[in-house]
Amino acid sequence: MAGDCWQTPLLMRIFVWHGYLLAGTGSNIYTRQLAREWRRDGHDVTVFSQEPHPERYDLGGAETVRPDVGGLLPVFVLDEYEGYEVKRLQDCTRAELDAWVEANAASLRERLPADFAFVNHVLLGGPVGAAVGAPYVVKAHGSELEYSMRGRPELEVWGRSVLQGAAAVFVGSAHIREVLEDVCGHVDRVHEVPPGVDVDEWRPRAHDEALAALVDEARRDPPNPGNANERLPDEGNAERLADFLGGDAPVIVYFGKLLFNKGVHVLLEALAGVDDARAVIVGFGDYRAELEGMADPARTLFTGPLEHRHLVHLLALADTCVVPSIFPEAFGMVAAEAAAAGCPPLVARHSGLAEIAEGLEAEYPPELRELAGFTTGEASELREKMSALLALPISDRERMSSAARRAAVARWSWSSIAERLLDVAVREPGLR
């Protein structure tokens, strides 16, 4: 059926493939949230990932499968994954990558038929989708393009070839559309749909309620003696958070990876000139020790990684959430989540983060719009913006909080994003 008469089928059988875990990073969370929304809408959804404990996450009742990949895990940024030989994608041989792709694709083929497969990452999701024998759509993320494919002609050509066979290609921002074009050349059927935020989970909360809930969640954390496992919250966080967040001093939050490219050092430099403010730094990564060496321990608390069950309460306690990345970002998911919680984000103005700033500015009162972002890497400007935001009268800060929440609900709620993705995909001829 053509034109305006076309309608999304009432029910579809959808495979969602993701080669990694279902928690921790943006694409991991993207996968589980999307699967949950489609399943809630009544679609038959199967999630393929390397997550060892999918039962820990709300997937809306979707079936889960863990393909046997023989112990190899090709990644874009080196991290530890228990039970795997971890190698950067670009350091794997083509024979290793082909075998890994086939192992995944075979798992999907065994469970056909499906109306389509939704695969994450140009590489290696694109090759997996192409090998399944069913229509497939590709979600391009920034990580594979920037960290593994850019400047490596053999990977760029491979990516371009598998995208040509996709029924549709999704990017999360105009910035990633440009990066995709730079890395893979011109690609047809590219659609820009941002990631989503669970606006029911990320919402404003009363201060005392949020602090009590945060401490309670921290008490439920598994033991981590000596903080030996960097992927678990730090030992003793319950008491540390209760002590650190007591009182009336302003609270600034960063959450994400602790890598140099994430720009946390810019935040710490800026913090030194902001009177009385405290910073909670959430995350793990190979730059943590250096960051701890830079920070004033009396004003900065490192917690290790926290889960959504912690963060939804922590953001309700924060006066602002700073996203200081100095490297291109596909989309500012952290900032969108903070906005949904009513915590005004302050983001570096570049790549996908700039689009978040623009969305916030559309809702902010004109006189407060400059407080949505700062020039990338400029600690002095970030210091000025944080100081200005924290000095606002309570009434203005409440206006900013309400406006940030409105922006998140209108632009980035998961229910609307999942509906948009499916509606766009099924209108492509390859899926009709």
pLDDT in tens, 187-211: 999 999 998 999 999 999 999 999 9
- Identify the pLDDT of residue 375: 98
Question: DSSP readout, 203-231?
Answer: ----HHHHHHHHHHHHHTSPP-GGG--TT
pLDDT for 297-321, tens place per residue? Answer: 999 999 999 999 999 999 999 999 9
Domain ranges for the chain, please list them.
Answer: 3-196+414-431, 207-412
Proportion of the chain above pLDDT 90, given as a percent: 90
Does residue 104 have a pLDDT over 90? Answer: yes
Q: What is the spatial distance between Cα 353 and Cα 293, in angstroms, rounded to a whole number?
A: 27
Residue 124 preceded by cis peptide, ω within 30: yes
Terminal C-alpha separation, the chain:
8
Specify the CATH superfamily of domain 207-412: Glycogen Phosphorylase B; (3.40.50.2000)
DSSP 234: P
Select 3-196+414-431's CATH number: 3.40.50.2000, 3.50.50.60, 3.40.50.300, 3.30.420.40: 3.40.50.2000
For residue 226, what pLDDT is reported? 97
- Tokens 């944080």 — which residue? 386
Three-class DSSP category at 24: coil
Cα distance between residue 339 and residue 332, in whole Å: 11
Q: Is the pLDDT of residue 267 over 70?
A: yes
Q: Which amino acid is at 136?
A: Y
Judge whether 3-196+414-431 and 207-412 match in fold: yes
**Number of residues that make up the chain:** 432
Cis peptide leading into residue 113 (ω within 30°): yes
Residues 319 and 316: their CA atoms lie apart, in Å, by 8
User: Which pLDDT belongs to residue 5?
Assistant: 45
Alpha helices in 319-429 (DSSP H): 333-340, 351-363, 379-390, 394-412, 414-426
Tell me the one-letter amino acid at 88.
Answer: R
Report the distance separating Cα 193 and Cα 190, nearest Å. Answer: 10
Instruction: Give the residue from 158, 161, 141, 150 showing the smallest Cα distance to 183.
Output: 150
Tokens coding 58: 């709300």
Report the pLDDT value the prediction gives residue 2, as an integer from 0 to 100: 39
Q: What is the pLDDT of residues 7-63, one digit of tens each?
A: 556 799 999 999 999 998 889 999 999 999 999 999 999 999 999 999 999 999 999
CA distance 250 to 266: 18
